[in-house]
């Protein structure tokens, strides 16, 4: 819908060439019903102006098809009445070409910053050449909507491989020529033995030598070329597969990740790479080798039908063995892969939860689990090794027969005079016969792996074929959000759960409200915030943002409109500044400092030796819990969201930083709707309204004083908490506690209540 940034952005940005370029792309995409948001664009490092390739990636990520290319005027003008084409200008901005008129020699350009109704202006070749650098970006709607959503199965892989038409064609062609060239050495041997040695013909030898040299040169060059080509094809496939798989992973809803163990997800995901290795390595090579068969077999039949049939029979027997063993092989291979995945899950869990493992002294339990899983792995690996050893054992005599035995048969045939072959032909046959066996043997190997791959594919499919959020992420409205919230008869049950987490929630607050959420642990406070962010989307009833049904709003847009701070926030490895911007483009150090100040983090950051450049280690071990929390708040406020959610955000803070954040809360809340979940009521007294939750129901919603008067649950909670100024008293029963293991926060809890 409406995607124009606010007018004040417009005036300051409209001079910026990059902004104009982005807006041209937005307009061109809009023509195809693809809604882009300039804020989604991630600039490429080192690029002064976004290149067509970077822009194309942006469009593709949002569900369109885009291609950057360099065009000459003569081509451009022949495009005729096209959908809008983005022309890159030399100054870094861009124009929008909406049509051409070859007869008059002009193209029609429209101002990217004006609406679709704005009349286009005619531009001729000379004038365009002054501004246009020759690059264009063509945008299309994706024909096959489901491509990004395509199921992850063998068919998908095959389609992907077939898409590399040109590369494949070249590889196939060179392989065929190579196969044909491979016949010649055998034929030459035949000639050397039969003509040169038998008849002592020096002249033949000389001409044969020349022939051999030329042939060898060809063969060397060609196999170099083929290797190079297949390398290109396979790395391209590789990149495509990785990209697609990772995109799928990112577009899975959060709920999926919550239901599954991370270790398992990782294990299954990495199965993709096993499939990839297979498709781009073994499969491709074997298929190419198989060509040899088609070329060599006729020659063999030409030289000696009897021996050719024998060779074929032996080769057939190899195939038969493989087919017979296949079911057993597939069972074992499948087991082996699954046990390995299970063991990897244990590994991952242990590393990820090492803090808990160490503090609870769980090393032995973990070790036992690892031992058991390793034993499984060992057992199945042994079984599958044995299986392939058996196959080898059965196959190798046949292979030997093709390679060596056949010469004995041939000699016998010559001796008994039942074949008209000569000695040279015999040698040649032996050489070529070997070429028949080896692709067949590798085909057998291939069959073994096919099963492994099928298992891997299924495992990967369990993760990647889950329903994604892609549709909600790329479609829907992008309204300008003010922040009025309303819940109408909202009911929600977590998937797989028996009890409702939310029961008939009804309330609404105007934009700019500071809303507190209180209630016992498990009463549904976090669930409310999750519904708001579109994390859980299968609720009943209506949830409206500024009167618009939440389901109609583009999910990216929705989530970006929220600044969210949770109790435990993940900081990425990088500097403090990186963590506050979180890699989002377009923030200057001034923005970072402003956000840090708002979050009450400025003062501690500046005390650090490297200031905003201080490096944060994995697991943020080098800063305290309170500092981490304030960084998280800074990270949330930097984008100036119209809605903020703080879910137990200050629960883990020491009293000093809590006081700092609370003091800033009013300032942070200016011009935004805030939803603050806290079990410490004292930090919510200043809220415009406080919603009291109990067992998934909304008990009451009113300001602090009113609640104190009329809401029993609230009064009880309030009294419980304010009694513990006296350290002997109990601390509010089953309310949730911070799981922080940092010392200061625990000690800070009690005095924290006194702050107000």
Ligand X SMILES: Nc1ncnc2c1ncn2[C@@H]1O[C@H](COP(=O)(O)OP(=O)(O)O)[C@@H](O)[C@H]1O
> CA-CA distances (angstroms) from residue 257 to 444, 533, 657, 746?
39, 16, 32, 30
Beta strand extents in 7-145 (DSSP E only): 64-70, 85-89, 94-101, 106-110, 121-124, 132-141
Q: What's the min distance (Å) between Cβ of 524 and Mg ion?
A: 9
Q: What's the min distance (Å) between Cβ of 514 and ligand X?
A: 19
Segment contacting ligand X by CB under 6 A, of 34-42, 332-340, 504-512, 521-529: 521-529
Q: Which of 189, 288, 501, 550 binds ligand X (CB under 6 A)?
A: 501
Segment contacting ligand X by CB under 6 A, of 12-20, 164-172, 519-527, 612-620: 519-527
Contact 696, 523 (CB under 8 A): yes
Six-digit token pair at 488? 């109408």
Segment contacting ligand X by CB under 6 A, of 76-84, 233-241, 324-332, 516-524: 516-524
Segment contacting ligand X by CB under 6 A, of 32-40, 269-277, 289-297, 494-502: 494-502
Q: Which of 304, 336, 526, 579 binds ligand X (CB under 6 A)?
A: 526
Q: What's the min distance (Å) between Cβ of 685 and ligand X?
A: 20
Q: What's the min distance (Å) between Cβ of 722 and ligand X?
A: 21
Give the residue with the Cβ less far from ligand X, 406 or 505. 505
Contact 424, 191 (CB under 8 A): yes
Q: Which of 13, 376, 694, 736 binds ligand X (CB under 6 A)?
A: 736
Interaction between residue 525 and ligand X (CB under 6 A): yes
Strand partners, 701: 691
Determine the Cα–Cα distance for residues 550 and 561; give it in Å rounded to an integer.
12
Interaction between residue 339 and ligand X (CB under 6 A): no
* Interface positions, 457-476, toward ligand X (CB under 6 A): none
Q: Which of 286, 523, 639, 650 binds ligand X (CB under 6 A)?
A: 523
Q: What's the min distance (Å) between Cβ of 647 and Mg ion?
A: 6
Segment contacting Mg ion by CB under 5 A, of 21-29, 204-212, 480-488, 523-531: 523-531
Determine the Cα–Cα distance for residues 700 and 717; give it in Å rounded to an integer.
14
Of the CA atoms within 13 Å of residue 136, those in its CB half-sphere come to 19
Give the residue with the Cβ less far from Mg ion, 461 or 524. 524
Task: Return the SS3 of 50.
Answer: coil
Interaction between residue 403 and ligand X (CB under 6 A): no
Letter string b/e over residues 202-234, b meaning 16 or more CB atoms within 10 A of that residue's CB: eeeeeebeeeeeeeeeebeeeeeebeebbeebb
Q: What's the min distance (Å) between Cβ of 566 and Mg ion?
A: 9
Nearest Cα to Cα of residue 598 among 632, 572, 570, 626: 632
Contact 713, 725 (CB under 8 A): no
Interaction between residue 523 and Mg ion (CB under 5 A): no
Q: What's the min distance (Å) between Cβ of 525 and Mg ion?
A: 5
Interaction between residue 649 and ligand X (CB under 6 A): no
Interaction between residue 519 and ligand X (CB under 6 A): yes
Interaction between residue 497 and ligand X (CB under 6 A): yes
Contacts of 530 (CB under 8 A, 6+ apart): 536
Give the residue with the Cβ less far from Mg ion, 335 or 526. 526
SS (H, E, C) 416-485: CCCCCCCHHHHHHHHHHHHHHHHHHHHHHHHHHHHHHHHHHHHHHHHHHCCCCCHHHHHCCECCCCCCCE
Give the residue with the Cβ less far from ligand X, 25 or 692. 692
Q: What is the DSSP letter of 574?
A: E
| Per-residue contact string for residues 525-564; x = within reach of Mg ion by CB under 5 A | -x--------------------------------------
Q: Which does 258 bind (CB under 5 to 8 A by kind): ligand X, Mg ion, none?
A: ligand X
The DSSP bridge pattern shows strands 615-616 and 643-647 to be: unpaired
* Interface positions, 245-274, toward ligand X (CB under 6 A): 258
Interaction between residue 739 and ligand X (CB under 6 A): no
* Interface positions, 83-102, toward Mg ion (CB under 5 A): none
Give the residue with the Cβ less far from ligand X, 258 or 372. 258
Nearest Cα to Cα of residue 639 among 544, 565, 543: 565
Q: Could you report how far apart the first and last alpha carbons of the chain are, in Å?
A: 45
Closest residue to Mg ion in the complex (CB): 526
Determine the Cα–Cα distance for residues 570 and 564; give it in Å rounded to an integer.
12
Interaction between residue 524 and ligand X (CB under 6 A): yes
Q: What's the min distance (Å) between Cβ of 491 and ligand X?
A: 13
Q: Which does 703 bind (CB under 5 to 8 A by kind): Mg ion, ligand X, none?
A: none
Count of residues interacting with ligand X (CB under 6 A):
13
Long-range contacts of 176-179 (CB under 8 A, 24+ apart): 176/291, 176/295, 177/222, 178/219, 178/222, 178/223, 178/226, 179/291, 179/292, 179/294, 179/295, 179/296
Segment contacting ligand X by CB under 6 A, of 3-11, 325-333, 522-530, 561-569: 522-530
Q: Which of 319, 522, 703, 751 binds ligand X (CB under 6 A)?
A: 522
Cα Rg of the chain (Å, integer)? 35
Determine the Cα–Cα distance for residues 134 and 125; give it in Å rounded to an integer.
12
Interaction between residue 336 and Mg ion (CB under 5 A): no
> Phi and psi dihedrals of 689, rounded to 5?
-145, 150
Contact 545, 484 (CB under 8 A): yes
Give the residue with the Cβ less far from ligand X, 306 or 466. 466
Give the residue with the Cβ less far from ligand X, 310 or 502. 502
Interaction between residue 433 and ligand X (CB under 6 A): no
Question: What is the torsional sign of CA 685, 687, 688, 692?
Answer: negative
Q: What's the min distance (Å) between Cβ of 698 and ligand X?
A: 12
Q: What is the DSSP letter of 513?
A: -
Segment contacting Mg ion by CB under 5 A, of 301-309, 400-408, 518-526, 594-602: 518-526
Q: Which does 336 bind (CB under 5 to 8 A by kind): ligand X, Mg ion, none?
A: none
Q: What is the DSSP letter of 535?
A: S
Interaction between residue 567 and Mg ion (CB under 5 A): no
Q: Which does 588 bind (CB under 5 to 8 A by kind): Mg ion, ligand X, none?
A: none
Give the residue with the Cβ less far from ligand X, 361 or 498. 498
Q: What's the min distance (Å) between Cβ of 460 and ligand X?
A: 24
Interaction between residue 198 and ligand X (CB under 6 A): no
Q: Which of 31, 348, 390, 494 binds ligand X (CB under 6 A)?
A: 494
Q: How far is CA 274 from the centre of its chain?
A: 16
Beta strand extents in 566-696 (DSSP E only): 574-575, 615-616, 643-647, 673-677, 689-694
Determine the Cα–Cα distance for residues 94 and 553; give it in Å rounded to an integer.
29
Give the residue with the Cβ less far from ligand X, 461 or 696. 696
Segment contacting Mg ion by CB under 5 A, of 98-106, 283-291, 320-328, 521-529: 521-529
Q: Which does 519 bind (CB under 5 to 8 A by kind): Mg ion, ligand X, none?
A: ligand X
Q: What's the min distance (Å) between Cβ of 7 and Mg ion?
A: 39
Q: What's the min distance (Å) between Cβ of 254 and Mg ion?
A: 15
Six-digit token pair at 727? 């350290």
Nearest Cα to Cα of residue 371 among 347, 341, 353: 347
Give the residue with the Cβ less far from ligand X, 337 or 643. 643
Segment contacting Mg ion by CB under 5 A, of 80-88, 119-127, 524-532, 550-558: 524-532
Binding site for Mg ion (CB under 5 A): 526
Binding site for ligand X (CB under 6 A): 258, 494, 497, 501, 519, 521-527, 736
């Amino acid at each position: 819908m409406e995607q124009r940034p606010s007018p004040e952005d417009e005036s300051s940005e409209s001079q910026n060439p990059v902004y104009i370029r982005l807006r041209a792309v937005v307009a061109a995409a809009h023509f195809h019903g693809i809604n882009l948001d300039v804020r989604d664009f991630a600039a490429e490092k080192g690029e002064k102006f976004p290149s067509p390739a970077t822009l194309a990636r942006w469009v593709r990520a949002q569900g369109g098809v885009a291609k950057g290319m360099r065009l000459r005027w003569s081509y451009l003008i022949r495009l005729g009445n096209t959908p809008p084409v983005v022309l890159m200008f030399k100054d870094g901005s861009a124009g929008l070409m909406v049509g051409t008129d070859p007869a008059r020699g002009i193209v029609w350009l429209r101002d990217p910053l004006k609406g679709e109704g704005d009349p286009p202006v005619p531009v001729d070749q000379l004038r365009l050449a002054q501004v246009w650098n020759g690059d264009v970006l063509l945008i299309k709607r994706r024909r096959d909507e489901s491509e990004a959503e395509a199921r992850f199965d063998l068919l998908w892989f095959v389609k992907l491989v077939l898409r590399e038409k040109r590369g494949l064609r070249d590889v196939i062609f060179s392989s065929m020529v190579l196969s044909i060239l491979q016949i010649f050495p055998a034929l030459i041997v035949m000639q050397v033995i039969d003509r040169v040695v038998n008849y002592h013909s020096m002249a033949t030898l000389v001409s044969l030598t020349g022939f051999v040299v030329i042939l060898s040169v060809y063969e060397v060059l060609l196999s170099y070329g083929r290797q190079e080509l297949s390398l290109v094809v396979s790395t391209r496939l590789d990149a495509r597969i990785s990209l697609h798989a990772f995109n799928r992973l990112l577009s899975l809803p959060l709920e999926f990740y919550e239901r599954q163990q991370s270790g398992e997800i990782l294990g299954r995901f990495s199965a993709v790479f096993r499939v990839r290795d297979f498709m781009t390595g073994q499969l491709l090579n074997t298929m190419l080798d198989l060509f040899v068969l088609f070329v060599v077999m006729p020659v063999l039949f030409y030289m000696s039908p009897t021996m050719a049939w024998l060779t074929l029979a032996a080769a057939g027997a190899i195939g038969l063995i493989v087919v017979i063993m296949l079911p057993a092989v597939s069972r074992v291979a499948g087991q082996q892969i699954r046990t390995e995945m299970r063991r990897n899950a244990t590994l991952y869990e242990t590393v990820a939860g090492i803090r808990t493992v160490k503090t609870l002294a769980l090393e032995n339990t973990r070790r036992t689990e690892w031992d058991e899983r390793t034993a499984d792995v060992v057992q199945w690996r042994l079984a599958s090794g044995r299986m392939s050893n058996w196959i080898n054992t059965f196959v190798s005599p046949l292979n030997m027969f093709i390679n060596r035995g056949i010469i004995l048969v041939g000699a016998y045939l010559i001796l008994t005079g039942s074949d008209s072959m000569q000695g040279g032909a015999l040698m040649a046959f032996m050489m070529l016969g070997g070429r028949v066996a080896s692709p067949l043997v590798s085909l057998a190997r291939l069959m073994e792996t096919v099963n492994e791959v099928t298992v891997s594919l299924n495992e990967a499919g369990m993760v990647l074929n889950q329903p994604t959020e892609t549709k909600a992420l790329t479609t829907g409205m992008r309204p300008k959000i003010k922040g009025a919230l309303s819940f109408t008869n909202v009911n929600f049950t977590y998937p797989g759960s028996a009890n409702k987490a939310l029961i008939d929630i009804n309330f609404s607050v105007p934009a700019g409200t500071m809303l507190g959420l209180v209630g016992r642990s498990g009463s549904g406070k976090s669930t409310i915030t999750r519904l708001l962010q579109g994390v859980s989307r299968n609720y009943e009833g209506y949830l409206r943002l500024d009167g618009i049904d939440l389901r109609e709003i583009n999910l990216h847009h929705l989530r970006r409109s929220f600044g969210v701070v949770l109790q435990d926030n993940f900081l990425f490895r990088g500097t403090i500044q990186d963590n506050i911007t979180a890699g989002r483009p377009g923030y200057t150090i001034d923005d970072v400092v402003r956000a840090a100040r708002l979050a009450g983090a400025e003062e501690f950051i500046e005390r650090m030796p490297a200031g905003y450049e201080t490096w944060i280690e994995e697991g943020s071990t080098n800063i305290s819990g309170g500092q981490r929390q304030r960084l998280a708040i800074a990270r949330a406020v930097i984008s100036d969201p119209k809605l903020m959610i703080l879910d137990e955000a200050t629960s883990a803070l020491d009293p000093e930083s809590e006081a700092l954040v609370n003091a800033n809360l009013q300032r942070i809340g200016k011009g935004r709707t805030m939803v603050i979940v806290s079990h410490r009521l004292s930090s919510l007294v200043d809220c415009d309204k406080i919603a009291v939750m109990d067992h998934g129901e909304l008990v009451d919603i009113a300001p602090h004083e009113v609640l104190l008067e009329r809401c029993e649950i609230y009064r009880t909670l309030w009294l419980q908490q304010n009694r513990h100024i006296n350290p002997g008293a109990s601390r509010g029963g089953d309310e949730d506690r911070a799981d922080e293991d940092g010392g200061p926060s625990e000690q800070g809890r009690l005095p924290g209540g006194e702050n107000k």
